[in-house]
A and B are shown apart, each in its own frame.
Chain A
Amino acid sequence: MTRTTPLYVKIILYVLLIAGSIVMMFPFVWMVSTSFKTVGAIAQMPPQIIPRPIDLSNYETVWNKVNFARFTLNSFLIVGADMVGALLSCALVAFGLAMFDFKGRKLLFGVMLATLMVPGQVTMIPTYFIWKTFRALDTYFPLIVPSFLAGPFGIFLIHQYIKALPKELYESATIDGCSPPGIFFRVYLPLCKPALAALAVFTFMGAWNNTLGPLIYLQTRSRYTLPLGLLFLKSENPNQALLMAGAVIITVPVVVVYLLAQKQFIQGIASTGLKG
């Protein structure tokens, strides 16, 4: 369509897209702007986009006094464990499903697709009962252990990738005297890097943004994750600048990860239709 696009169509295109972009980005601008405002400037009309004076103390208060430093550490700890667990377990299971013919394989594959449809609200209460029985409430186990047990989304993602690799790989490795675990760790795992990278990004986003899990399982304040910390802060009714500083602290890491791994993320969504 390149040559035939008339100028007025181009202008309309840019005007619409830029107007839409302003609407989409405005809440971010407002969040950052408010986070640097003094108490006096927060409610000032007309609103200031660039605050005068720029006040850094909100970040200091949120980071030290509200202890977002600790919440950030907790979030990174849980997210890191989740990433290790999800990558390892999903790759193992995907490899098993793709390589071996065993009784129940088809059933397991069907269950995997069905799991994607079972609603969280139905399994949430019994899952809480399980963790209560194991005396694991108010610990990180309920937030970390499930990711070591391979989620259907991750299995699906890596399974599709392994399926597309040449089948001769497995045979030639067997002839060279490699055992199945050896083949998995030395041959397939390194080859799956692109799929693993995509899963890593999805796991990061999902775990970082998870609110319901920590809300159900964590009680002690020093164990809170960032979203829970922000929820707690909001319930205390602080001034808006403090809240926005908290929101910026939560948002910056995901944006950085997204910018670094944009390609994998977009391809993952486009090919599976799902997110995390």
Chain B
Amino acid sequence: MHKQRYWGYVFTFPFIINVLVFLLFPIVFSAYISFTKYDLFNAPKWIGLTNWINILNKREFWLSMRNVSMFALIFVPLQTSFAFLVAFMLNQAALKAKSLFRLFYFLPVITPWLAAGVVWSWMFNYQYGVLNWFLGLVGIDPVNWLYSRSWVVVIASIALVNVWKGLGQSMVILLAGMQNVPHEVLESAQIDGASSRQLLTHIVFPIVTPMVYLVMILSTISAFQTFDVFLGLFGGITTGISEQSMVPNIMIYRDAFLLFKLGPASATAWLLFFVILAITLFQQYFEKRWVHYD
């Protein structure tokens, strides 16, 4: 470490500006306008807690929280368990063509959301969609995936697309964790007569719990901040997203940039942040029960 202070500030200057202009100012300003009536063109007018109270009394806000919670409840366990299963299988020494399989499972991660969205919404099409055609082959009635009258069907369909898109990323993190499991440990356990299932539950799983925890935290946060999957599947904010499929980030975007109600939009953004923070702290509280570090 060198005591040339001057140079320290010179080199980190871009980031100092970044923090001041694009982090500190936005946090303060966003908190301020959540207490005002503001439309970007006229000066903000202080209205106290009105925005906050209005939002908490708004049916749409609670529906969006309901939807996003269901979205997370379906998405996080499914993505984590599938990713774990695939990573475990890819980690088997006997498996050939590992990198090809990894490519197949990872490709959706790098695909642009809009491309994924238009394909899936076409596959979900009620009349001509290929998914309903497959269902028809096994004698199941067509499902109106994205526009079903049941909100659970709508949210579950979107969550499934999200699992398809995100599975590869969790898989790579878990695979890296599994590769840290020492081979000697596995071999000696096998010599002692442990079955594959015992290896999985007593050795591999405990060692990768920190990675499983990381994957769950990351996917929970991303689930509550979901935006792109809704935009991609419905092809726009004003087209097709009803109360049944509304989520907080879509609401924030619409209120801020289409309706120019920046006060309510900012208050909603903060509420969403508090919800995410509370859930993350909650997950951290239970971490000690099942995550092993050593």
Task: Please give the residue numbers on chain A whose beta carbons come within 8 Å of chain B beta carbons, in ascending order.
Answer: 1-2, 4-5, 9-10, 13-14, 16-17, 20-21, 23-25, 27-28, 30-31, 34, 42-43, 45-47, 89, 92-93, 95-97, 99-103, 105, 108, 111-112, 115, 118-130, 132, 146, 148-151, 155, 170, 180, 184, 205, 208-209, 211-212, 215-216, 226-227, 230-231, 234-235, 240, 243-244, 246-248, 250-251, 254-255, 258, 262, 265-266, 269-271, 273-275
Contacts and interface: CB of A to CB of B under 8 A. Distances in A.
Contact of B112 (A34, A250, A270): A250
11 contacts: A9-B94, A21-B101, A95-B11, A115-B23, A126-B29, A128-B256, A148-B14, A211-B231, A231-B231, A254-B112, A255-B111
**Size band of the interface chain B makes with A:** 35 or more
A239 B86 CA distance: 36
SS class, residues of chain A in contact with chain B: helix
B114 A230 contact: yes
Contact of B269 (A122, A128, A275): A122
Contacts of A45: 128, 133
A186 B112 CA distance: 37
B119 A13 contact: no
A254 B285 CA distance: 39
B105 A243 contact: no
A247 B112 CA distance: 9
SS class, residues of chain B in contact with chain A: helix
Contacts of A121: 225, 248-249, 252, 269, 272-273
A112 B23 CA distance: 10
B62 interface: no
A1 B7 contact: no
B22 interface: yes
A144 B182 CA distance: 44
A27 B225 contact: no
